[in-house]
């Protein structure tokens, strides 16, 4: 089993929910995400569950949700390293000519609901950072 999978499985058993939701809330505010966009990025289809978890986050996170948080936090960090404010927070909504985005905004790709698209954006930004 790859090291990253082991780390995620170990982290999934720890009470990380509160910190993860608080951190994501600050990022969502910086990015100007609507509640629907937040739900989609986190893979939480139920509106009631989303608001319940925002108010009272689960102590333990399912591996899928933990993976999504990890990619989103990495995307945020990479943007902060690569770009100055306010461009760092605006980048996701700007059209991008890179073939990965086909002239659309990176956020459009991220909002497909597939965790793989979060991975692609994270990988792209990490490559831009030289990592």
Q: pLDDT at position 17, please?
A: 87
- Domain segments of the chain as ranges: 3-129
**Residue-wise pLDDT tens digits, 3-58:** 655 555 555 555 688 899 999 999 999 999 999 999 999 999 999 999 999 999 99
Q: How far apart are CA 104 and CA 36, in angstroms?
A: 19
Q: How far apart are CA 116 and CA 131, in angstroms?
A: 19
In angstroms, the first-to-last Cα distance of the chain is: 22
**Residue-wise pLDDT tens digits, 107-122:** 999 999 999 999 999 9
Is the distance from CB of 17 to CB of 62 less than 8 angstroms?
no
Q: How far apart are CA 98 and CA 37, in angstroms?
A: 23
Closest alpha carbon to 58 in 92, 104, 12, 9: 12
């Amino acid at each position: 089993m790859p090291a990253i999978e082991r780390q995620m499985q170990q982290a999934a058993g720890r009470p990380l929910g509160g910190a993860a939701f608080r951190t994501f809330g600050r990022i969502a505010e910086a990015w100007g995400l609507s509640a629907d966009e937040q739900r989609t990025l986190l893979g939480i289809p139920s509106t009631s569950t989303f608001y319940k978890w925002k108010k009272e986050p689960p102590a333990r996170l399912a591996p899928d949700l933990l993976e999504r948080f990890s990619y989103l936090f990495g995307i945020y960090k990479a943007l902060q390293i690569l770009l100055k404010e306010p461009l760092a927070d605006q980048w996701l909504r700007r059209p991008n000519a890179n073939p990965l985005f086909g002239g659309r905004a990176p956020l459009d790709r991220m909002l497909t609901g597939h965790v793989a698209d979060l991975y692609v954006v994270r990988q792209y930004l990490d490559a831009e950072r030289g990592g």
